[in-house]
Amino acid sequence: MTQNSPPRTTSVLAPQLGRKERPERRATSEIMRKYGHLLFVLPGLVFFVAVMVGPTLFALVISLTNWTGRGISFEFIGLQNFQDALSYWPLYRAAINNVILFVAMLIFQHTVGLFIAVQLNEKPRFMEFYRAVLFMPVIISLVSTGFIWTLMLSSNIGFINPVLRDLGLGFLAKNWLSDPATALPTVIAVTAWNSVGWAIVIYLSGLQNVPEELKQAAHIDGANGWQTFWRVVFPQLSPSFTALTVLTFIGTFKTFDLVYVLTGPLGSPNYRTDVVGTLIYRTAFGGSGNYTDDISMSFAIALALVVFAFMTLIAWALIKILRRREIQS
Amino acid sequence: MKTVIKGLLVGVLLATTAISAIAQDKVVLTMWHNHPEWKDRVEAILNKYEEMNPNIDIQLEEISGTNYNTRLNTALTAGEAPDLFGLNPGPVTADAAAAGYTVDLTDRLDISGLTDSAKAAITLDGKIYSAPILGSYTVGLYYQRKIFEENGLTPPTNQTEFMALCDTLREKGITPMIAPAQDGIIPSFLYAMMVASVVKAEGFDEIRAGTRKFTDPDVLKAAYFLKDSYSCFQEGALATPYVEGKALFALGRGAMLEGGSADYAGFLETNPDVDVGVVPFPAVDGGTPATVTGMEAPYNVNAKSEHIDEAVAFLQWMMTAEPAQMVVDTITLTTTKGIVPSDNEVMKEMIEAGRSNDVRVFYEMPETGAVFGVVQQNAAALFLGDITPEEFAQIVQDAVKPSSSM
């Protein structure tokens, strides 16, 4: 628009320009002024309802039945599935593994991830290369990641144990995924390898937003490098800390594909690596192929909804607590 | 120039119309199968049928065993299952029939050419819903001929010999047994054969009737044997997937493998020079070496298929001599009467092994339908010492639903 072009008028502005309008048209304009912006939200809302809210409500209805997943016969059994879910000890066994995974990943992301981000923030030579290499595992599909690591870790065809032996470190060679002592730590290590890129990127963006003046002021005030980082820089990273913690929580509690590929549908050995994702899958579709006749889709959905409610509650609490901490810092 | 372009366009249009007309004349039957390693062999049989019936196009999709049932269940529920699909006989087929997923083939299919055991396996309350077109499998103990000959060894016949053989092989630096135990299928078959060596076919009927139990002192020995056999497995057995284990054995990385007739085709795919023999599985001390036999997922016709008659005709042909011969020569045992392997020595040995003491697999019977899965889910606990053989046997026994009609 040029400076000389006349101002555009809209129906909302029309009354101010003194035009006469019919009352119903004025009412429509008023509604549009108040709620018109919602039209922009509508497509997304429709999509969200269609693919999220609708199926969730449908799932809720199924969870109130005894539908096995085969056939069309079922009966409504009220809240029986939820009652059973809360006293179903495999759920707690799996959830404990999720908690261990979450705590380990939390520590890893906030220490190793932060450390690497700080190093990269110093802008070393080949920084772009390092950043790309460290982020690469994130863009590889989890199924592919699982297969690659399964092959590398295999006691029979893997190369990790032979390499350790060739390096004279044979005492470190293990049956990584079949030994109860190393199976879950190995799953944690693979998960960490896969997701450390996220921690680096999130922390790096936080570090790059810390004003240089703050660090210079701390330096002038006599703070050493560690004090500057801990007292000045780290508090500025609170939003990154919050985002990463919540994302890690959600990611570790919904983990499925990596565990399924690494240790199979039974969370081998003997459920030591079973997580709620594999438990729900096994309950819905069966343990391993052809022979299971104890599947229950409705119970699996009840388990999923219980976990969903629990995750929502914890994620909300985490955000609440960590946001308060952000404001304080 | 314009005339040439117009001519080309008209030509393309006519060709497209002709191709689509031909395609419309063909009846397309979709078929899902759960042994990707058999793909070429199964397709060779299907090609034979298509040659004889030019109006039929059978589109085979191979889905790996662990994903097959998941996909099939979902597809059946969604009404998008293929025209032809395999299901285990017994409880699983009964469930599918009750749900209305499959066509009742009782009056549509002539099964007089099948063996008696095959007829019994596919008959549910006097009705027939499936056809065993890809035969049956018998499970025994495969061994590497070369390893045994070079070391002057003979296949074991009982628990004591088996455990001693494991020690001997270990001392020679040879992995005694490949057992891909990640999903528990192999341990479940092992336990089935160990139990069979004690109870035999009659005792299995008693277990189904509830008059004999897995916790009985003589049957309990099978749980002890299973636990002991773990020491013979390869490194990392509990994390070894099924396909990896079979490939390891085919490549000679272990001396023995519990395996079925259906596995041999897969060995050949991995290693065309594989040289193996097969015997019944060693008996629990005091018992008889045993094998177990099951049907290779008999085929059902989708009740929603638009080509039910064509699908039934295909199933009927698959039970005749020519395809049955191809099955037994290239894939596994056949269930068609009078058909024997022409030059497949391993299949001949497997048939011989099955003559000693053969029992049907747990999961085909309604009373023990859940037993196979329960063993799968608890074998690792037994191996790791998380539960005792007594506790294991009790868990298995709890999964039996005895039938008073037995």
Q: Which two tokens stand for residue B226?
A: 């299973």
Residue that terminates a domain, selected from A10, A39, A58:
A58
Confidence of residue B364 (pLDDT cuts 50, 70, 90): confident
Per-residue pLDDT at B69: 81
Q: Count how many domains chain B has.
A: 2
Cα distance from A74 to chain B (closest Cα, Å)?
11
B131 and B255 share one domain: no
- Does any domain span residue A3? no
B363 and B388 share one domain: yes
Q: What is the mean pLDDT of chain B?
A: 91
B301 and B289 share one domain: no
A41 and A140 share one domain: no
Looking at the complex, does the CB of residue A285 fall below 8 Å from at least one CB of chain B? yes
A134 and A188 share one domain: yes
B56 and B146 share one domain: no
- Does any domain span residue A1? no
**ipTM of the modeled complex:** 0.82
- Does any domain span residue B144? yes
Is residue A181 pLDDT above 60, yes or no? yes
CATH code for the domain in which residue B74 is found: 3.40.190.10
A47 and A174 share one domain: no
Per-residue pLDDT at B22: 52
Per-residue pLDDT at A25: 77
Q: What is the pLDDT of residues A247-296, one digit of tens each?
A: 999 999 999 999 999 998 899 899 999 999 999 998 988 765 554 556 88
- Nearest Cβ partner for A286 among B69, B99, B101: B69
| Burial class (CB within 10 angstroms; exposed 0-12, middle 13-18, buried 19+) of B31 | buried
- Does any domain span residue A133? yes
A172 and A284 share one domain: yes
Cα distance from B123 to chain A (closest Cα, Å)?
19
B304 and B281 share one domain: no
B239 and B193 share one domain: yes
B164 and B127 share one domain: no
Is residue B13 pLDDT above 80, yes or no? no
- Does any domain span residue B374? yes
- Does any domain span residue B392? yes
Q: What is the pLDDT of residues B339-356, one digit of tens each?
A: 888 888 898 999 899 888
Task: Name the residue range of residue A308's domain.
Answer: 88-328
A314 and A206 share one domain: yes
Q: Count how many domains chain A has.
A: 2
Task: Name the residue range of residue B255's domain.
Answer: 137-293+349-398
Residue of A nearest to B240 (CA): A154
B308 and B243 share one domain: no
A144 and A213 share one domain: yes
**Mean pLDDT value across residues A163-169:** 94
| Cβ distance of B244 and A264 shorter than 8 Å | no
Residue of B nearest to A269 (CA): B238
Per-residue pLDDT at A10: 46
Looking at the complex, does the CB of residue A154 fall below 8 Å from at least one CB of chain B? yes
B157 and B143 share one domain: yes
A49 and A134 share one domain: no
- Whether omega for the bond prior to residue A269 falls within 30 degrees of 0, making it cis, is yes
- Nearest Cβ partner for B376 among A177, A285, A291: A291
- Does any domain span residue A18? no
Looking at the complex, does the CB of residue A264 fall below 8 Å from at least one CB of chain B? yes
Is residue A150 pLDDT above 80, yes or no? yes
Looking at the complex, does the CB of residue A183 fall below 8 Å from at least one CB of chain B? yes
DSSP string, B257-276: EEEEGGGHHHHHHH-TT--E
Q: What is the pLDDT of residues B112-145, one digit of tens each?
A: 999 888 898 899 989 999 999 999 999 999 999 9
| Residue showing tokens 């969903």 | A308
Pairwise pLDDT comparison (A70 vs A9), residue with the higher score: A70
Per-residue pLDDT at A293: 59
Q: Give Cα separations from B397 to B360, B391, B402 (angstroms).
A: 17, 10, 10
Per-residue pLDDT at A13: 46
Is the separation of the CB atoms in B27 and B56 below 8 Å? yes
- Does any domain span residue B59? yes
**Mean pLDDT value across residues A5-11:** 46
Q: Name which of B186, B230, B238, B292 to mutate to probe chain A: the one with the most chain A Cβ atoms within 10 A of its Cβ.
A: B238
Paired residues of B338 in beta bridges: none
Q: Chain B partners of A291 at a C-beta cutoff of 8 Å?
A: 88, 185, 188, 363, 372-373, 376
Alpha-carbon gap, residue B69 to B63, rounded angstroms: 9
B320 and B251 share one domain: no
- Does any domain span residue A309? yes
Confidence of residue A3 (pLDDT cuts 50, 70, 90): very low
A137 and A29 share one domain: no
Q: What is the mean pLDDT of chain A?
A: 88
- Does any domain span residue A2? no
Cα distance from A166 to chain B (closest Cα, Å)?
18
- Does any domain span residue A99? yes
Judged by average pLDDT, the poorest of A292-301, B172-181, B185-194, B294-303 is A292-301
Is residue A112 pLDDT above 70, yes or no? yes
Looking at the complex, does the CB of residue A126 fall below 8 Å from at least one CB of chain B? no
With vertex at residue B140, the alpha carbon angle to CA B41 and CA B233, rounded to the nearest 5 degrees, is: 105
**Mean pLDDT value across residues A168-183:** 94
Confidence of residue B24 (pLDDT cuts 50, 70, 90): low
Residue of A nearest to B294 (CA): A291
A210 and A113 share one domain: yes
Q: What is the pLDDT of residues B40-76, one digit of tens each?
A: 999 999 999 999 999 999 999 999 877 788 888 889 8
B284 and B191 share one domain: yes
A137 and A225 share one domain: yes
| Cβ distance of B183 and A266 shorter than 8 Å | yes
| Cβ distance of B70 and A293 shorter than 8 Å | no
- Nearest Cβ partner for B235 among A71, A175, A288: A175
| Cβ distance of A293 and B235 shorter than 8 Å | no
With vertex at residue B400, the alpha carbon angle to CA B106 and CA A180, rounded to the nearest 5 degrees, is: 120
Confidence of residue A122 (pLDDT cuts 50, 70, 90): confident
**Mean pLDDT value across residues B232-249:** 93
Is residue B1 pLDDT above 60, yes or no? no
Residue of A nearest to B369 (CA): A293
| Cβ distance of B376 and A154 shorter than 8 Å | no
Cα distance from A150 to chain B (closest Cα, Å)?
9
Is residue B17 pLDDT above 70, yes or no? no
Is residue A9 pLDDT above 50, yes or no? no
B113 and B83 share one domain: yes
Residue of A nearest to B97 (CA): A71
CATH code for the domain in which residue A293 is found: 1.10.3720.10
| Cβ distance of A291 and B188 shorter than 8 Å | yes
Percent of chain B with pLDDT over 70: 93
3-state secondary structure of B233: strand
- Nearest Cβ partner for B376 among A155, A176, A288: A288
A184 and A267 share one domain: yes
Looking at the complex, does the CB of residue A11 fall below 8 Å from at least one CB of chain B? no
Q: What is the pLDDT of residues A211-253, one digit of tens each?
A: 989 889 998 999 888 899 988 999 999 999 999 999 999 999 9
Nearest to B331 by CA among B57, B122, B132, B91: B132
Q: Name which of A273, A293, A297, A298 to mutate to probe chain B: the one with the most chain B Cβ atoms within 10 A of its Cβ.
A: A293
Q: Chain A partners of B76 at a C-beta cutoff of 8 Å?
A: 70
This prediction's pTM: 0.84
Q: Which two tokens stand for residue B138?
A: 């018998």
Q: Name which of A65, A74, A291 to mutate to probe chain B: the one with the most chain B Cβ atoms within 10 A of its Cβ.
A: A291
- Does any domain span residue A70? no
CB neighbourhood size of A183 (10 A): 25
Per-residue pLDDT at A1: 41
Residue of A nearest to B102 (CA): A71
